[in-house]
A and B are shown apart, each in its own frame.
Chain A
Amino acid sequence: MTMIPKLDPKDLWISFMESDTPGHLMRAVFIALVGLPLVALGSRVLARILRARFGDQGGRLLARILRYAGFIIVCVTILQQFGFNLAAVLGAAGVAGVAIGFASQTSLSNLISGLFIVGERPFEKGDVVEIAGITGIVEEIGLMALTVRTFDNRSVRIPNETLVKTNVTTVTRYPIRRVDTEVGVAYDESIAKVMEVLRKVAEDHPHVLDEPAPLVVFTGFGDSSLNFLLGTWGVKEDYLTVKNEIPLKIKEAFDREGIEIPFPHLVLASGKAMQAIPVDMGGVLKTEAE
């Protein structure tokens, strides 16, 4: 039979105080009290610095990564005060890392792609982008994915890996944009007159820029029409207005000037290229020329 010695709280306190534990505990508290606010403050300062280089969203994202890294370092340092063996954990993590790495290949790919995107800055929050057939406004540039709000108000999450692999068009990157409008007129019309009318339509529109000058190009002989391109420049905010209004103004101007916009048609020949097609007029065979 073993006797359990009676534990005196006073003795326990004395042995506790004589051990290394109070020192470690105080150091741990000190590290926590100083380290955690320092990391939070540092990440804020870094966010401001990084914002200038990587944009608002990119700067915030990198600062968040650095903040998490800082918190981990502080936690590990605190645990070390209590004899926590980091080497053993890292050894175990090495083995686990291989397994986790295989399992989370896509996530890591998204994470690394996200870092590339933050560094490259192909767009900013608020930009209009076209990615893999999706057009919308950039809502958030995340560690793993980009969130885009489409114009019909849906939220689309696009993995960062997709952004690296596919074509990304930033529609609102530059301050001005050209709106191209194609139009065809009948073969009877004067090319010079049509070009003049198109130029006037561009000049008279209040949202079309004088410079860069509007582009009026005769693009060729179509199946049923003489084809033209009117390229008008406007600031990006006016893009939709110009795109909507220019075709209306062209139609109005053509109507006013008596310029015909033809519909697709075919001319049937009776066999001899330049002769009119015979038409049956109720028993009497006539040709169109008669």
Chain B
Amino acid sequence: MSFPSPWHERTLEDGEWLCADFADLCMVVHSTMEEWRVATVDGERGQRIKSTGRLPEDLEWERWDRGVKDRKLAFRPVFPDRPVIVRPRSPLHLSPRAKALFYVGIPARIELSADLEGTRRVLSSWPSVRLSNSWHGLPTAGQLCYASRTQARRRYVTDEWKAFDIATTVEISNQSEKTLPFERLFFETDHLAIFLHGSKLWSNHARIRITEADEELNGVVFSAKPYGDASDAGLLSAARRGIVRRSFLRAAFSTVLGTFQDD
């Protein structure tokens, strides 16, 4: 039995509405009075709306003016709008010359785009799972991030993977002579795209090589495709700042080992 992909284009005639579930998020989209109206509710309430077939009056709508003939819309998964910090189940020590592959599930944000006066435009995006805030850096300077409650894993088990988590693979290679403590991954997601493999979401694979010099922590290589069996997946959402073969930006994965705060 095959289920329709939640990412296909949909049509809403004037006066129609739909209710779409994405993990903890349920989105109600209503096309009425030359407006797109969008409300987000929790899953339980979404189920009630679907079962009654009526829109409650107390929904808090966000509204966009549209043309008379505009009726097409589509949902799309995107990476969170801030970097994400993910921890392994327990701290891991990476031996000299060792390689470690991590599977990280990052809950997707759901972007809604719709026709506005005949042109397809992004209306907004909402988190499929509400992530908590975290701070990367010192109390005097740093970056606001999300902290993911799903942890970095060493193997991928399809059934354990949540439907709207993006499977992101990172291979870390310790080419130094020191054992490296690995407590968390700092994901700057701008160079990661999203692919659809079966019904699962994947990102392109990233490889990080750590050498003796701290300055070379930023040796990140991004593949164009996802890792392993998912390498034949189709592109769903392009990377925000494009897929680059190699990133020399310190911001991108620069503190991937998460030892920044311990310095």
Q: Is B one of A's binding partners?
A: yes
Chain B 55-91 interface residues, beta-carbon cutoff 8 Å to A? 85
> Given the complex of chains A and B, what is the CA–CA distance between A86 and B147 in angstroms?
70
Any chain A CB within 8 A of the CB of B124?
Answer: no
**A210 surroundings in chain B (CB, below 8 A):** 85, 132-135, 147
Query: Which one of A207, A208, A211 contacts B85 once the chains associate, using CB atoms below 8 Å?
Result: A211
Any chain A CB within 8 A of the CB of B39?
Answer: no
Any chain B CB within 8 A of the CB of A175?
Answer: yes
**A176 surroundings in chain B (CB, below 8 A):** 135, 139, 142
B133 lies within 8 A of A209 (CB): yes
**B139 surroundings in chain A (CB, below 8 A):** 174, 176, 212, 233
- A175-B141, A175-B142 known; A212 vs B132 contact (CB < 8 Å): no
Identify which of B85, B134, B141, B261 gathers the most chain A CB atoms within 10 Å of its CB: B134
Query: Which one of B132, B140, B142, B144 contacts A208 once the chains associate, using CB atoms below 8 Å?
Result: B132
**A235 surroundings in chain B (CB, below 8 A):** 133, 135, 144
**B85 surroundings in chain A (CB, below 8 A):** 210-211
Any chain A CB within 8 A of the CB of B154?
Answer: no
In the A-B complex, list the 8 residue pairs whose CB atoms are closest, starting with the nearest. Answer: A210-B147, A210-B134, A211-B134, A209-B135, A209-B133, A174-B140, A210-B132, A211-B135
Interface string of B123-149 (1 = CB under 8 A from A): 000000010111110011110100100
Give the dominant DSSP class at A's interface: loop
Any chain B CB within 8 A of the CB of A142?
Answer: no
Instruction: Please report B residues at the A interface, Cβ cutoff 8 Å.
Output: 85, 130, 132-136, 139-142, 144, 147, 261
Q: A20 to nearest B CB, angstroms?
A: 64
Q: A215 to nearest B CB, angstroms?
A: 13
A206 lies within 8 A of B135 (CB): no
Residue of A nearest to B149 (CB): A210
A233 lies within 8 A of B135 (CB): yes
> Given the complex of chains A and B, what is the CA–CA distance between A234 and B147 in angstroms?
13
**B140 surroundings in chain A (CB, below 8 A):** 174-175
> Given the complex of chains A and B, what is the CA–CA distance between A176 and B134 in angstroms?
10
> Given the complex of chains A and B, what is the CA–CA distance between A41 and B132 in angstroms?
50
Any chain B CB within 8 A of the CB of A180?
Answer: no
Q: A283 to nearest B CB, angstroms?
A: 61
Residue of A nearest to B87 (CB): A210
> Given the complex of chains A and B, what is the CA–CA distance between A175 and B141 in angstroms?
7
Chain A 175-189 interface residues, beta-carbon cutoff 8 Å to B? 175-176
B134 lies within 8 A of A206 (CB): no
**A203 surroundings in chain B (CB, below 8 A):** 132
B141 lies within 8 A of A206 (CB): no
**B135 surroundings in chain A (CB, below 8 A):** 175-176, 209-212, 233, 235
Q: B106 to nearest A CB, angstroms?
A: 15
A208 lies within 8 A of B141 (CB): no
> Given the complex of chains A and B, what is the CA–CA distance between A206 and B134 in angstroms?
10
B142 lies within 8 A of A234 (CB): no
